[in-house]
Amino acid sequence: MNRRQGLTVLGAACLSLGLGAAWASEEAPEAFVKRITNDTLETIKADKALRNGDIAKIMQLVDDKLMPHVNFRRMTSLATGPAWRKATPEQQGRLQTEFKTLLVRTYAGALSQVSDQVVVVKPLRAGQEDKNLVVNTEVRGKGDPIQLDYRLEKTPGQGAGWMIFDLNVLGVWLIENYRTQFTKEINAGGIDALIASLVARNKTNAKAS
């Protein structure tokens, strides 16, 4: 299994985390991750449009299934860094929209790589806090196993459950990777420059799809 296939599973897992949200508050974090990731693989294997990277269908799936169960605001703010706090609500909203589009289009093209993979969840490390808990997994199929980890937080109160706010594939955390890129754009021209860069990248990706 190559890096592209690893990213495939990363994107696939991201796109349907909401499949088991109703059970999330009742499950241990590793059981939650195991169920939704394996359900996701089976969903993609059975859906030709998802495997072929149908952007409209994937975007709808993200809005319906993913966004209610991922702390995407926290994900975007962490990727943006200190400049997030100085951004206006409008700028923050645009950043979230463009960042989501970038992630969806980035991984949509890899969905066709899903074949015989399965996800194996490793035992949870002791002593972790619910607000920053990591579940380690391996994606196994043909070739070497791929490291794929999830960083979770548990939401309090009624309807409490696990929320995902970061992902690690092949030893690289998504937020850390994008924060490096975003910091360069912000240092060069501020938040508006970052937004403009994301818009441009999304337009380029759209033309290529």
Q: Give 8 or 188, the one with higher predicted confidence.
A: 188
**Average pLDDT score, the chain:** 80
Yes or no: say if 186 and 176 are a contact pair by the CB < 8 Å rule: no
Domain spanning 3-208: CATH superfamily:
Tgt2/MlaC (3.10.450.710)
pLDDT in tens, 149-196: 999 998 776 556 888 899 888 888 999 999 999 999 999 999 999 999
Query: How long a stretch of residues is the chain?
Result: 209
pLDDT in tens, 77-93: 999 999 999 999 999 99
* 81's tokens: 């860094």
Provide the pLDDT for residue 146: 84
pTM of the model: 0.77
Q: Where are the domains of the chain?
A: 3-208
pLDDT in tens, 97-139: 999 888 887 766 555 566 777 889 999 988 888 888 999 999 8
